[in-house]
């Protein structure tokens, strides 16, 4: 996606503006996603996949600022047309403390597992991106973000160090220690840690999945006088590198060549003397379905706090137009964080998050009904609208005079194809979700020197309403003479609890840390789906199930599902030179039969920091040299549905039936593998 952005402050127009180009690199390699901005203004851009940038600056005296997570910021005067910059790693970032999960942490330079860190998310939130996934694009090595095809309601796909499993690569998001907790706004993010290998992710066991783990730490309430801040982000997006189908003229030549090479006679429908309509390009379908999309985000934050009681509340709204026409994603978000220190040992904190989302998405992946593939299938000789009556156009003309003159409109030569503009404009699609999270934490510090106890309880309530009306499709191509209204609503609730003991101690040259934790969670979802067909009038105000000719209903119960885990971790280092870490987790999964409902997930790491040895001479080019090795095992319980015990009721009009239950064979066992995936039950049916 091509991104541009600006802030709420207006900018004057400079008559003497100039353009600066260049490349940003580090150690000879291009850096992707480097922020390049004019100091003191909101003019800026980011480097592309080759580390290149182009920036319009007010004048040659402007100061250009180059910044990137984990690197020293560089400033240059814009007195040349081409400015190439080399960034060096920020040595201070090596001393930052990295969160590793369940209260454990370590200095970045002491890590013996593969971990990526974004410590200053504020530099990323100024970009016009609508999701945390997109915010990570180009920021960490080995982390690839693939876009959503122009649909703002679909979640970008994250791949950490390649595909880990054929069963799915869902990434586990852990927010403030709670797996799956919602992020109210990107402006609330303090830091992000990506656990890239099995050794670091194994502490999350079967929940880690094959995709990896992302740990998010949000901003907390601080001590100080009342402060109120506002931030507004405005931007636009355009789809780039779009696939393009052949023009009508190119398709004619391709058909002639292919039939000639095969020794076959060209069908008369592809002969422009017999069917001239097919030989003229009338529509660029990609240009018709994509647009320059606007994006805006507003965030208001209030912070007030004393030494013993701190409060922070933030309110944000996002309005994201999809690059596909007639798609959008809007949300209103509220987050409250409070911390109360009862005495020098005991602290209670509370997080409350509420998200309300309204959206209109579209199918972009299906072969015939997907908007993007339909744009590729649809012949470019066709038109968006039928010039005879203004209805949506099909694969060829419906003009009676043309058909009378040439004997046919030769619709059969194009096969099945659907007008993609019709898919985006005619279908009535609406989705609304309300999501509420509460997270209460009790912390008792210094029970003895270095020993801390943390107890956490979180609760989530989510409700959803979905509606989709598909009208009759009667244009030539792939007609469908039935109309359908699908409505569904669900409510899910879940709770999670965690109790953790952590210890950190230093004894001379020896450093020891450890944790012991137990977790438990429970989840249940109830959903009702109703479909109606046979609407005699497709007017918007009559698109209700009461006006359907027939209806069917399905009642779904997902769960109840419960899991219990036992976790331990021990880390030891000697003289800042030698490091060893071991962790072990046992997960009990309620969705599995009791004979084989648990799995073990161990991990170990070793590291030798050569740069801490006396014989090593540090230089400006090389200040840290470390050899490390790691091994670990993770699971992928998300690949197994929760409802093997659930009874699905299919209630149809005038008749009723009960389908059977999903079954799990009791003879199977937990599969295990190193990092790639844990196959929970290969015999599942």
Instruction: List pLDDT tens digits, range 88-119.
Output: 776 555 556 677 778 777 776 767 777 888 87
Distance between CA atoms of 393 and 383, rounded to whole angstroms? 6
For residue 30, the domain's CATH number is 2.60.40.4130
Comparing 268 with 50, which gets the higher pLDDT? 268
Shared-domain flag, residues 157 and 114 = yes
CA dihedral of residues 471, 477, 478, 484 (deg, nearest 10): 0
**175 and 81 within one domain:** no
Contact 337, 349 (CB under 8 A): yes
Give the span between the Cα atoms of 6 and 356, in whole angstroms: 26
607 in any annotated domain: yes
* Residue 37 counted as domain residue: yes
Q: Are residues 488 and 546 in the same domain?
A: yes
Q: Which whole-number Å values give the CA distances from 230 to 182, 220, 223, 301, in the listed order?
A: 22, 17, 19, 7
Place of tokens 């909101």: 42
Look at residues 89, 121, 140 and tell me which one is the last residue of a structural domain: 89
**Together in a domain, 345 and 471:** yes
| Residues 627, 631, 637, 640, CA torsion sign | positive
Do 470 and 354 lie in one domain? The reply is yes
CA distance 487 to 653: 16
Distance CA 381, CA 411 (A): 12
Say yes or no to pLDDT of 3 above 80: no
Q: Which two tokens stand for residue 633?
A: 């095992």
Whether 476 has a pLDDT exceeding 50, the answer reads yes
Domain end call among 389, 415, 441: 415
How do residues 569-579 score in pLDDT, each as one tens digit? Answer: 999 999 989 99
Coil, helix or strand at residue 619: coil
For residue 506, with 0-12 CB atoms within 10 Å meaning exposed, 13-18 middle and 19 or more buried, which class applies? exposed
Domain assignment present for residue 373? The answer is no
pLDDT of 582-598, one tens digit each?
999 999 988 888 888 88
Provide the strand spans (E) within 445-592.
451-470, 484-507, 510-533, 550-574, 578-589
Structural domain count of the chain: 4
| Tens-digit pLDDT profile for residues 19-45 | 899 999 887 778 877 888 888 776 878
Check if the beta carbon of residue 530 is closer than 8 Å to that of residue 552: yes
Mean predicted lDDT score pLDDT of the chain: 84
Mean pLDDT throughout 179-206? 87
Residue 642 lies in a domain: yes
Q: Are residues 32 and 149 in the same domain?
A: no
Domain range holding 259? 248-283+379-415
- Using only the alpha carbons of the chain, give its radius of gyration: 29
Give the whole-angstrom CA distance, residue 148 versus residue 129.
Answer: 12
Distance (Å, whole) CA 306 – CA 222: 8
User: Per-residue pLDDT tens for 650-659?
Assistant: 333 333 333 4
Instruction: Assess whether 607 and 519 both reside in one domain.
Output: yes
Instruction: Provide the pairing of β-strand 172-175 with 213-218.
Output: parallel
CATH of the domain at 197: 2.170.130.10
Do 73 and 98 belong to one domain?
no
Coil, strand or helix at 258: helix
Mean pLDDT, residues 620-640 taken together: 83
Inform me whether the pLDDT recorded for 148 exceeds 90: no
């Amino acid at each position: 996606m091509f991104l541009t952005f600006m802030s709420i402050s207006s900018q004057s127009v400079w008559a003497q503006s100039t353009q600066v180009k260049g490349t940003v690199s580090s150690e000879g390699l291009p850096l992707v996603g480097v922020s390049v901005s004019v100091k003191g203004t909101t003019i800026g851009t980011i480097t592309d996949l080759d580390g290149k940038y182009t920036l319009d600056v007010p004048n040659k005296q402007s100061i250009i600022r180059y910044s990137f997570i984990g690197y020293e910021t560089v400033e240059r005067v814009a007195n040349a047309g081409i400015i190439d910059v080399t960034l060096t790693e920020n040595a201070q970032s090596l001393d930052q403390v990295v969160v590793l999960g369940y209260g454990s942490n370590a200095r970045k330079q002491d890590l013996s597992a593969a971990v990526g860190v974004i410590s200053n998310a504020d530099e990323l939130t100024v970009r016009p991106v609508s999701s945390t996934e997109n915010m990570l694009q180009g920021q960490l090595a080995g982390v690839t973000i693939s876009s959503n095809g122009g649909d703002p309601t679909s979640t970008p796909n994250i791949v950490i160090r390649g595909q880990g499993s054929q069963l799915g690569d869902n990434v586990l998001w852990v927010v403030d220690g709670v797996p799956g907790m919602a992020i109210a706004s990107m402006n609330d993010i303090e830091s992000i840690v990506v656990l890239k290998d099995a050794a670091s992710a194994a502490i999350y066991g079967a929940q880690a999945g094959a995709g990896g783990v992302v740990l998010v730490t949000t901003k907390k309430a601080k001590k100080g006088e009342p402060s109120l801040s506002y931030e507004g982000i405005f931007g636009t997006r355009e789809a780039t590198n779009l696939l393009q189908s052949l023009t009508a003229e190119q398709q004619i030549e391709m058909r002639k060549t292919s039939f000639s090479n095969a020794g076959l006679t060209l069908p008369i429908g592809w002969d422009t003397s017999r069917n001239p309509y097919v030989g003229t390009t009338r529509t660029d379908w990609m240009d018709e379905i994509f647009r320059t999309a606007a994006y805006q985000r507003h965030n208001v934050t209030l912070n007030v706090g004393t030494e013993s009681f701190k409060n922070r509340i933030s309110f944000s709204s996002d309005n994201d137009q999809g690059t596909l026409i007639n798609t959008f994603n809007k949300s209103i978000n509220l987050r409250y964080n409070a911390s109360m220190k009862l005495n020098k040992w005991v602290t209670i904190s509370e997080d409350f998050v509420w998200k309300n989302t309204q959206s209109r998405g579209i199918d972009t992946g299906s072969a015939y009904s997907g908007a993007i593939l339909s744009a590729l299938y649809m012949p470019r000789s066709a038109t968006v609208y039928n010039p005879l009556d203004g209805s949506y156009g099909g694969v060829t003309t419906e003009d009676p005079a043309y058909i009378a003159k040439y004997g046919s409109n030769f619709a059969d030569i194009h096969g099945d194809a659907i007008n993609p503009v019709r898919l985006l404009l005619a279908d009535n699609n609406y989705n609304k979700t309300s999501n509420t999270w509460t997270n209460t934490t009790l912390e008792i510090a210094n029970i003895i020197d270095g020993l801390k106890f943390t107890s956490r309880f979180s609760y989530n309530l989510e409700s959803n309403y979905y509606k989709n009306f598909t009208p009759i499709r009667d244009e030539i191509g792939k007609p469908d003479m039935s109309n359908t209204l699908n409505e569904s609503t669900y409510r899910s609730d879940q709770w999670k609890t965690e109790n953790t003991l952590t210890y950190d101690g230093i004894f001379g040259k020896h450093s020891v840390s450890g944790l012991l934790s137990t977790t438990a969670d429970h989840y249940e979802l109830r959903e009702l789906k109703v479909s109606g067909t046979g609407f005699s009038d497709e007017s918007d105000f009559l698109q209700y199930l009461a006006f359907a000719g027939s209806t069917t209903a399905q009642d779904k119960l997902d769960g109840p599902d419960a899991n219990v885990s036992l976790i331990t971790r021990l880390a030891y280092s000697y003289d800042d030179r030698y490091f060893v870490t071991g962790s072990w987790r046992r997960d009990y999964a309620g969705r599995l039969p009791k004979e084989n409902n648990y799995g073990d997930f161990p991990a170990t790491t070793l590291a030798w920091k050569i740069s801490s040895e006396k014989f090593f001479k540090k230089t400006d080019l090389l200040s840290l040299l470390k050899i490390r090795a790691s091994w670990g095992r993770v699971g992928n319980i998300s690949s197994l549905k929760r409802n093997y015990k659930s009874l699905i009721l299919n209630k149809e009009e005038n008749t009723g039936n009960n389908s059977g239950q999903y079954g799990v064979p009791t003879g199977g066992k937990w599969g295990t593998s190193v990092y790639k995936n844990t196959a929970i039950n290969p015999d599942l049916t």
